[in-house]
Structure 1
Amino acid sequence: MTKGNHNSPDLKSGKGSKDFSKYFDFSDAKVISEEEGKITYRIKGRNVQINSQPDYKEGKRRGKEEIEVHYDFEIPEEMQNFGVDKYYHITTYGCQMNEHDTETMKGLLEQMGYKSVDDRNHADLILLNTCAIRENAEDKVFGELGHLKNLKIEKPGLLLGVCGCMSQEEGVVNRIMSKHGFVDMIFGTHNIHRLPHLIKEAVFSKELVVEVWSKEGDIIENLPKKREGMRAWVNIMYGCDKFCTYCIVPFTRGKERSRRPEDVIAEVRELARQGFKEVTLLGQNVNAYGKDFTDIDYTFGNLMDDMRLIDIPRIRFMTSHPRDFDDKLIEVLGKGGNLVEHIHLPVQSGSTAVLKKMSRKYTREAYLELVRKIKISVPNAVLSTDIIVGFPGETDEQFEDTLSLVREVGYDMAYTFIYSPREGTPAAAMEDNVPMSVKSERLQRLNDLIKENSRIINDRMLGEVVEVLVEGESKNNSEVLSGRSRANKLVHFEGPKELIGTFVKVRITDTKTWYIKGDIVAEAAAVH
């Protein structure tokens, strides 16, 4: 049913994990048993069952092997009631893709009988769904593992798992095995559907079970999901083939592989039937959707055109890559309707020279031309972006190119980051020669400019009436409601709690840099 890299590593030689030497005295690793697909070692007083280990070289290979689609997923019979009278807690780090993976794991666990619990002290199973984009994300997880060690000592029967993107990193898995041997399961992004099997192996073997595929598996449809609220995420594709020099994602998420359009459309139609008000289509490189199809000519533009015909009030997507943002997609977005005008379009740098070092495969001029086309087709387009400052070798002049591009585009919002090297990426081997003090100063200047842009754009909204999807009470004031506009602006207003989950019209009365307030236009209040 599934494929993956099941080659077990050889600890003695380091084969399958070049970083073992950093964490282990190999003389301490003893083979306890071997059988097809798995080896059990004795490491630092605990048995470790390794089904497969992350391997960057293996993960970078992009073969032409066929990705199969499976529709016959089901929980193994012996695990269908395993979680009855047990509780689970999942902590999620990182992007919407990780959030969506968590929804799938929740669905799997609840089909096994588990129930969710907010207080992890009462949980029988705790999973940390991790992010590998930045080093501080990893630091948070290892800090959390330190806290959980005491809980594990108090509750020896507690199952503790680390999954997600961090688990796809060679050094991370070895560090967990060496420094955090109380963990029970380590699995990656390609084998989430194997969670019931991994729980079974961890419980009955009482060993640390490691199963991280470096080569992605097939596409598994019909996995259960537990969604909450009125907004839903839908994965339309997996992986990324871009290999930007700073990015670990192509290793952690595998090669680009698209779900069949009929499966995506059927899922969104079902969400419409269930009453969801907003759907966000997800992909690590979402607008590369369909480029891996060999039997049909069907791209992301075609899919978005079909989304327009489904009775969902709002359709969003992220994250797009400028290189794959073609004229067909721009034309379709120009049709509006339920396709919202907010577009997240990461630029990363305004300097062509830096973009080349990043292997972004477009120039400053090409990006600006793309923005021009979008604004012509979608006159009310609202753009946000991602920007990295202090990339290896970035000069003052190149940073000024970024500032001038930000001014020219007029971003509504931006996620800004100081460059930090990720082990295993090409950029990690580059000389990181921009002092941290310079990086911090550049980040501050960039953020000041973004704030200035945002305030100007927000001020233009004064007096406008916008449609808001009411999400709930404001975090800071239970007497105030908040929700998002089509342009993804968070709007605060007073109103009855019964409006949560509906659309209302709000006239903007007060704007600040990150805060917008308004009054409900009573006669225009609408429930969809």
Structure 2
Amino acid sequence: MNEKQRKEQAQIKQVSSVDRKSSQDKPLSEKTTEDFAHYFQTTYTPPDIKKARKRGRDKIEVHYDFEIPEEMSKIGKGKKFLIRTYGCQMNEHDTEVMAGILSEMGYESTLDTDDADIILLNTCAIRENAENKVFGELGHLKPLKLEKPDLIIGVCGCMSQQESVVNRIMQKHQQVDLIFGTHNIHRLPDLIKEAMFSKVQVVEVWSKEGDIIENLPKVRHGQIKAWVNIMYGCDKFCTYCIVPMTRGKERSRRPEDIIREVRHLAAQGYQEVTLLGQNVNAYGKDFDDIEYRFADLMNDMHKIDIPRVRFTTSHPRDFDDHLIEVLAKGGNLLDHIHLPVQSGSSEILRKMNRKYTRESYLELVAKIKKAIPNVTLTTDIIVGFPNETDEQFEETMTLMEEVGFEAAYTFIYSPREGTPAAVKKDDVPMEVKKERLYRLNDLVNKQSAESMDAYEGKVVKVLVEGESKKDETVLAGYTEKNKVVNFKGPKSIIGKIVDVKITDTKTWSLNGELVEKTAEVSN
């Protein structure tokens, strides 16, 4: 805390517990601005990265009693909300939950910034570029806040779990009314209430992991594909990653709740679900009352009448033989596996604290390919980790070729404050890192194009998701192996799985024509 913050804190009026309680007990209509200001100033909870690093043995409770407070259930009537989402599928899923909560409060969704009464930026902390985009957006929103003083601007998600980010927002972005983290999304109605009536920034970020809150409302995009959270947090502590501090320790949902949700989605006509977790195949390791792991869950998914089941993101350390055995059953368990490797060098992997070697990763890949011969593998790779040598980078290139990845998300290492890797001295110039990324991307493109070439003339099963973004006369969808296919067909087949014959291949997509019946079917 700097001198300015100390002075501000010293000026905050402290109220007795009796005064605070009497303020909280008042009906919403009787509360004054001073009530809210007093209450919130005495309950300000900033993030603490030191606390977030600690892994206690506190029992995680599951709650099934979520409800919108009565006084907030219609407060959004006639008003609109906008949520901008940055980052991974977990953030997208969090946005679905927040949209569900706001909708139950009476708000309607809008894509127009000028029409919004609440704007939430759901943020990502993985890379610096995403962080810069958020601060840039806050700058753009400042004039709008001056025009519309009652507009509520909020920052949530992983960035909000970082102490330095919260301090920066509080000091430099007074237009922000509300800051909350990843563990307390279910508190959104109460936080909005406080933001509406308080004249100070509302900040509530829990360093301690939250409990698991079931029965939260969701607004999903369409009725074709759905994300289903099966667990939260990560215990791996890779030296470059801030997620264990922003998302907390691993907490698994109860299997019966997940199965019930997927069955409900199947009954609603959804064609595909993706099971989500920061480290999805560590699912169930935190259970102390049952022996039920990710392979058991996938086996139960195999029994549900839904055409496609995917999962992301998995960690090589937790990809065990039982899981491989279950995935080999096929059916609705698709043979596309995203398996982040991050580096092909055992030494770099050690410095990353990945807890596996190049050799053990290749052994795992060999097991998967033996059990699932037609498997498609994709991955994540970081180049330019502190002090990465030319030889170590070449090991990544050769591993890329040896495994035969058909796609990869590639990044130049981005230091994250609060992680061990961020304090490492680095002697690799940025020009060298960029050159390595260009070389790696050239190889990724080559291998992707080669994998696509094999589809020419084949017939594939395509889940039609809608019109192509580039041409509304063309439909687009994904194969079982997650390849994009563009083709012409009637709008009536959107949401269905159809056969498409591939007529042309590109580096990252396929073109085809709709067919009625086929004798030869490929994934």
Is the structural similarity TM-score above 0.5? Answer: yes
After superposition, where does 1:64-463 map in structure 2 within 5 Å? Answer: 64-229=57-222, 230-463=224-457
The separation in 2 between residues aligned to 1:486 and 1:28, in whole angstroms, is 57
CA contact (8 A) 1:371 1:409 kept: yes
Aligned to 2:6: 26
Shift of 1:34: 3.0
Shift of 1:479: 1.1
The separation in 1 between residues aligned to 2:9 and 2:250, in whole angstroms, is 36
- Secondary structure of 1:483's partner? strand
Shift of 1:280: 0.3
The separation in 1 between residues aligned to 2:55 and 2:145, in whole angstroms, is 40
Aligned pairs, number: 500
The separation in 1 between residues aligned to 2:44 and 2:274, in whole angstroms, is 34
Aligned to 1:471: 465
Residue 213 of structure 1 aligns with an amino acid whose one-letter code is W
The separation in 1 between residues aligned to 2:288 and 2:217, in whole angstroms, is 28
The separation in 1 between residues aligned to 2:412 and 2:234, in whole angstroms, is 22
- Secondary structure of 1:101's partner? helix
The separation in 1 between residues aligned to 2:371 and 2:46, in whole angstroms, is 47
Shift of 1:51: 2.6
Residue 124 of structure 2 aligns with an amino acid whose one-letter code is C
CA contact (8 A) 1:186 1:212 kept: yes
Residue 339 of structure 1 aligns with an amino acid whose one-letter code is L
CA contact (8 A) 1:245 1:357 kept: yes
The separation in 2 between residues aligned to 1:515 and 1:283, in whole angstroms, is 27
CA contact (8 A) 2:456 2:505 kept: yes
**CA shift in 2, pair 1:394/1:202, >3 Å:** same
Aligned to 1:521: 515
In the TM superposition, what whole-angstrom CA distance separates every residue of 1:161-208 from its partner, at most 9, and x where no partner exists? 000000000100000000001111000000000000000011122321
The separation in 2 between residues aligned to 1:181 and 1:262, in whole angstroms, is 44
CA contact (8 A) 1:232 1:276 kept: yes
The separation in 2 between residues aligned to 1:316 and 1:111, in whole angstroms, is 29
**CA shift in 2, pair 1:83/1:25, >3 Å:** closer
Shift of 1:333: 0.4
Shift of 1:524: 5.2
- Secondary structure of 2:374's partner? coil
Shift of 1:241: 0.3
CA contact (8 A) 1:49 1:208 kept: no
The separation in 2 between residues aligned to 1:432 and 1:102, in whole angstroms, is 36
Aligned to 2:483: 489
CA contact (8 A) 2:14 2:42 kept: no
**CA shift in 2, pair 1:135/1:403, >3 Å:** same
- Secondary structure of 1:375's partner? helix
The separation in 2 between residues aligned to 1:121 and 1:339, in whole angstroms, is 44
CA contact (8 A) 2:459 2:518 kept: no
- Secondary structure of 2:512's partner? strand
- Secondary structure of 2:379's partner? strand
The separation in 1 between residues aligned to 2:218 and 2:42, in whole angstroms, is 28
In the TM superposition, what whole-angstrom CA distance separates every residue of 1:81-123 from its partner, at most 9, and x where no partner exists? 1111110000000000000000000000001000001101101
Q: TM-score with structure 1 length normalisation?
A: 0.92
Residue 456 of structure 1 aligns with an amino acid whose one-letter code is E
The separation in 1 between residues aligned to 2:64 and 2:114, in whole angstroms, is 36
In the TM superposition, what whole-angstrom CA distance separates every residue of 1:201-221 from its partner, at most 9, and x where no partner exists? 111223210000001111000
The separation in 2 between residues aligned to 1:523 and 1:353, in whole angstroms, is 52
Shift of 1:48: 5.9
The separation in 1 between residues aligned to 2:410 and 2:350, in whole angstroms, is 19
Residue 296 of structure 2 aligns with an amino acid whose one-letter code is N
Shift of 1:379: 1.1
Q: Where does the alignment leave 5 or more consecutive residues of structure 1 unmatched?
A: 1-19, 42-46
CA contact (8 A) 1:504 1:524 kept: no
CA contact (8 A) 2:182 2:246 kept: yes
In the TM superposition, what whole-angstrom CA distance separates every residue of 1:414-436 from its partner, at most 9, and x where no partner exists? 00000111000000011122110
Residue 77 of structure 1 aligns with an amino acid whose one-letter code is E
The separation in 2 between residues aligned to 1:489 and 1:311, in whole angstroms, is 23
In the TM superposition, what whole-angstrom CA distance separates every residue of 1:204-239 from its partner, at most 9, and x where no partner exists? 223210000001111000000111221000000000
CA contact (8 A) 1:48 1:210 kept: no
Shift of 1:523: 3.0
- Secondary structure of 1:523's partner? coil
Aligned to 1:502: 496
CA RMSD of aligned residues (A): 1.8
In the TM superposition, what whole-angstrom CA distance separates every residue of 1:216-273 from its partner, at most 9, and x where no partner exists? 1110000001112210000000000000000000000000010000000000000011
- Secondary structure of 2:11's partner? strand
Shift of 1:31: 3.2
The separation in 2 between residues aligned to 1:308 and 1:438, in whole angstroms, is 46
In the TM superposition, what whole-angstrom CA distance separates every residue of 1:111-160 from its partner, at most 9, and x where no partner exists? 10000011011010000000000011000000000000000001001011
In the TM superposition, what whole-angstrom CA distance separates every residue of 1:307-340 from its partner, at most 9, and x where no partner exists? 0111110000000000000001000000000011
Residue 33 of structure 1 aligns with an amino acid whose one-letter code is K
Shift of 1:25: 5.5
Q: Where does the alignment leave 5 or more consecutive residues of structure 2 unmatched?
A: 22-32, 35-39
Residue 293 of structure 2 aligns with an amino acid whose one-letter code is T
